Amino acid sequence: MIETIGVESPSETIAADPFPENDAPTDTHTDSGAMADRRADHDDSTDSRRRFTRGISIVTLCSLVPYLGILWNFELRPLRKALTSGAFSNFFDLQARALMHGHLDVPLRSLSIEGFIIHGREFTYFPPGPALLRIPVFLFTNRFDNKFTAISMLLAWIVTAVVLGMLLWRVRVIIRGSAPLSRTELVAAALVQASVLCGSVILFLGALPWVYHEVYAWAIALALGAFHSLIGVLEQPSGRRIAATGGFTLGAILCRTTSGWACALTLLGTAVWFLVSKQRRNHRQWAWRLGIAGAVPLAIGIAINWAKFRHPFMFPLQDQEWTKVNPHRRAAMAANGGDLVSPNLFWSTSINYLRPNGVRFVSTFPFITLPANVARSYGGGFLDQTYRTSSITASAPLLVGLAIAGTVATFRRGASAALRLLRIPLIGAVAITGGIMFYGYIAYRYTSEFMPFLIVAAAVGVTVATSRFAGSSKRSRGTYIALLAAGLAYGLAANSAFAIQQTYIANPGSMLRNYVVLQDKISNFAGNPLDAYVRQSDSLPPTGPADRLQIVGDCAALFVGTGEPLNPWVPVEIREVALTLDLVDPQPFLRQAMPEIPLATFTGMTDSTLFLQPLGGRRYSLGRRDPDGVAYTEALTAPADDPVSVNVRALTEKGVYAVEVNGRLWFEVAMSQRDADWATFPVVVVPVVVPVVVPAVVSAVVSVVQHGWVIESAPTPPALSCTRLL
């Protein structure tokens, strides 16, 4: 980073007037005093660049600590996946393997609901950029299959950090020239660097290493690289800078279509401007190169999308598996003219992504959360899917404030030539957001589309704002730095809180249980116990308010409410059901007609029953009856001296109840069910013999006798996280 931040620094003359009318000849007969002044300026500039690079490098390393904490979930887990099952983290691995075999389609039915099956071949709508990154590794090993996403996201973060430091320096030199770097400037730039890397949605993306976040991690990095290089081209064109701009643009278009197209069209627009602008007469020779740098990535992106979907940039949502199974998606498409893009959606997206109250403060850990309810529609737009979504103004106010200042300074009447130089990159960066502002799907990760604009504009804003304090008092400078530091601290706290909560909500079971215990401890320590969020009921309510801790029965299960209609409840801990079946009187079973003896009910949107089926004498089987039919174990024999042990254990990480007889697995029952819109609701197991809870110990033994069988509830530990809350 030390050498790259200062590449091709412009001269003081270019900084003062980036649009020279002509190339004036250099007077080689300068006196020795002028030469000494230039050497002194060069030494000052070199020293400033060195100090800037050192400071930015230090703050980047500091910012890496919270990012790795979120990405690795505060453990040494460099190969962590978003979900324990690994679902939705392997798409680019599959794509890489397919490309290595010379085709774009992946194995059929391997993409779950995200797949597009066209003419018997399955495609992903994601461009193949992150898959290409894997190929050099996959050529030598398959060890990283389905494990590479966290590594890829870390690499994207590093690229973002390096390019961001280079951008801050380049913008500073364009606006400030060779003015010596003050301590205030250095600290302000360092705070912006940290705010981007660990005080924005970039930090949140690290919470879930899966494809949805990986593409955004790379899209931010590569779009930022494209605009940094483009600023260099506008400042002082060169073949290397144009090549870098085209390379970053190609990378962007191979990761995220909206980012790539915005970058490519900006390059093409700049090339046209070079040709027609009178101020840019001396840059016309570079126009065709810049045009190629924009056209080639655009052509490659179009070719790839055409090969998959026969369209330059869109994909046929009607062919996506999710559309086929989700009536609401089909209704949204019908309401929006056959896809999910419509001008009617602008009010919904703009309000949800920009509203200043897009955050929720609570008295319990983690104290800052996403809004309690999912994003809602405004202005009559018909939305497809919406989630609890923070806004850029509420999650990164420092960047938004500086971006506003930078935009006003750049576009105001009478702006300097140096500032006017930055107008095209800002217009190109804001164009990226067009992909989400008219799209009927709202989620916090989509605010990543704002990041290239916020970063470029904030780089301008902090440079302009800091220059105003050049001659101010020490107290004024201190107040200014304190405000920037407060903005960074808030952004770090908010996005860390969002990230931590989302990590655990996405991983029910032991991970979520540990989080609830930690939440209870910290909240109690802060003097705000979780009592206000705890409810107890015999059954699970149909809706799960955000952060609600719902106890079912006498600590039979504990669920946490998500506030999301598509997945209202997530299991924290479910007590094992243990029954013993003792045949004490086999005589009644010598008859031909043998009754079913119910053992437990799995209650959900539709119920299923676990029952004992006597077969005569000591022979029996277990059966499970649901709306789809009946399934039985093979014929078993009850021992004469020992009872039969039946256990139902919740394997929350796997999402199933395991039904075991004498330690042998016979059935797996899904822990959740989906309705017609694929909203997911939990299934709760209720034994016929309900145990009586002895507080903080185990359930007491209760028995019933049915048709010669004694059915007892065996003692099992209650849900420990539940007992903490009572």
Amino acid code (one letter) for 513: R
- Count CB-CB contacts under 10 A for residue 184: 19
DSSP for residue 589 = G
> What is residue 24's predicted lDDT score, i.e. its pLDDT?
37
> What is residue 10's predicted lDDT score, i.e. its pLDDT?
42
Rounded distance between C-alpha atoms, residue 710 and residue 700, angstroms: 16
Task: List b or e across 516-539, with b for residues whose CB sees 16 or more CB atoms inside 10 angstroms.
Answer: bbebbeebeeeeeebeebbeeeee
Task: Give the tokens for residue 613.
Answer: 């089926």
Rounded distance between C-alpha atoms, residue 85 and residue 694, angstroms: 35
Rounded distance between C-alpha atoms, residue 559 and residue 540, angstroms: 9
Rounded distance between C-alpha atoms, residue 298 and residue 268, angstroms: 10
> What is residue 500's predicted lDDT score, i.e. its pLDDT?
97
Task: Give the tokens for residue 156.
Answer: 């994207």
Task: For residue range 316-365, list pLDDT tens digits in order.
Answer: 999 999 999 999 999 999 999 999 999 999 999 999 999 999 999 999 99
What is the Cβ-side half-sphere exposure of residue 135, based on CA atoms within 13 angstroms? 13
Rounded distance between C-alpha atoms, residue 440 and residue 446, angstroms: 12
DSSP for residue 643 = P
Residue entry with tokens 């530990």: 717
Backbone angles phi, psi at 529, to 5 degrees: -60, 165
Helices within 506-630 (DSSP H only): 510-525
> For 628-635, which contacts have Cβ atoms below 8 Å and span 24 or more sequence positions?
631/667, 633/661, 633/666, 633/667
Residues (pLDDT < 50) of the chain are: 1-30, 35, 589-591, 692-700
Angle, CA of 142, 147 and 149, to the nearest 5°: 125
